[in-house]
A and B are shown apart, each in its own frame.
Chain A
Amino acid sequence: MTDAGYVLAAYAVIIGGLALYTGTLWRRLRSARRRDDEAR
């Protein structure tokens, strides 16, 4: 793999990982808040 490959791999995982985590965080928050509303 050329250097560019490693650079891409690094950025893809880090930036992609941030995006993924943010997405799952939103989903978990939505689910937790929805259950709160249902419980009332």
Chain B
Amino acid sequence: MKTRVLGLVALTAVVAVTLVALFVVPPDRNQGDAQRIMYPHVASAWLAYLSFGVTALAGIGWLWKRDLRLDAVAHAAAEIGVMFTAFAIWGGMMWGRPIWGVFWQWEDPRLTTTALLLALYVGYLLLRRLTDDPERRATRAAIVGIVAAIDIPIVHFSVEWWRGLHQTATIGSPDRVLNPAAPGIFVGTLFGTLAAFTLTWLYLMIRRYQLARAELAREEARRIDVLMSARTAEVAR
């Protein structure tokens, strides 16, 4: 199966890139070993945003086409997105402690935006769980997912403003690893991690989508069961 091959390739890539990031890449001049955390942290953040973009687009697709398969995509993307968001926050905290001296920094727009991202999409998943009818669930989820996606740039922008008005010199900024002028091995490892993680994301998306379809089918079968037994009971009288 093609998906299985994808999975194996993704696994190999992740293992390879982790080994490189931990043992091959030299420590950063300013940030030391802590800089290594940036690779999975940035990759996770990227995949979180990608996931929620997919959730919003799939939601729009559902509202437009009324195809439950699109809703299944939205669900899969949201669940995987929440996972990567949690990873991004964790990575940010593990990086922050050695660099800033604290686990949390209110003035870092990325960290606070990501925390809000987590809150928004955990709410999305809970909303889904509390609605039983598939079409109503899909509609509610779609509009909540769309508004959440619209909110994210506003949040990021406002937190940046918040920080901008209290300019404090930060010795370590997560941005440094994204600088294209950085030494080749840093940039290369970053792109490698991005690629490996994205392949993993793709594999997980396919599997989670399959699971969502299977669960939908089971829901449908159960509903038919209930209808049939009610019918049989009626006929028996």
Judged by a CB distance under 8 angstroms, whether B113 is at the interface is no
The CA-CA distance from A11 to B211 in the complex, in Å, is: 27
- Number of B positions contacting A (CB below 8 A): 32
Whether A11 touches B40, Cβ cut-off 8 Å, given contacts A28-B211, A32-B211, A36-B214, is yes
- Number of A positions contacting B (CB below 8 A): 24
Of all chain A residues, the one with the shortest Cβ separation from B83 is A21
Judged by a CB distance under 8 angstroms, whether B94 is at the interface is yes
Let me know if B207 and A26 touch, CB within 8 A: yes
Judged by a CB distance under 8 angstroms, whether B163 is at the interface is no
**Whole-angstrom distance from the CB of B110 to the nearest CB of chain A?**
16
The CA-CA distance from A4 to B168 in the complex, in Å, is: 27
Let me know if A6 and B207 touch, CB within 8 A: no
The CA-CA distance from A14 to B36 in the complex, in Å, is: 13
Give the interface of B toward A (CB within 8 A).
Answer: 14, 18, 22, 32-34, 36-37, 40-41, 44, 80, 83, 86-87, 90-91, 94-95, 97-98, 200, 204, 207-208, 210-211, 214-215, 217-218, 221
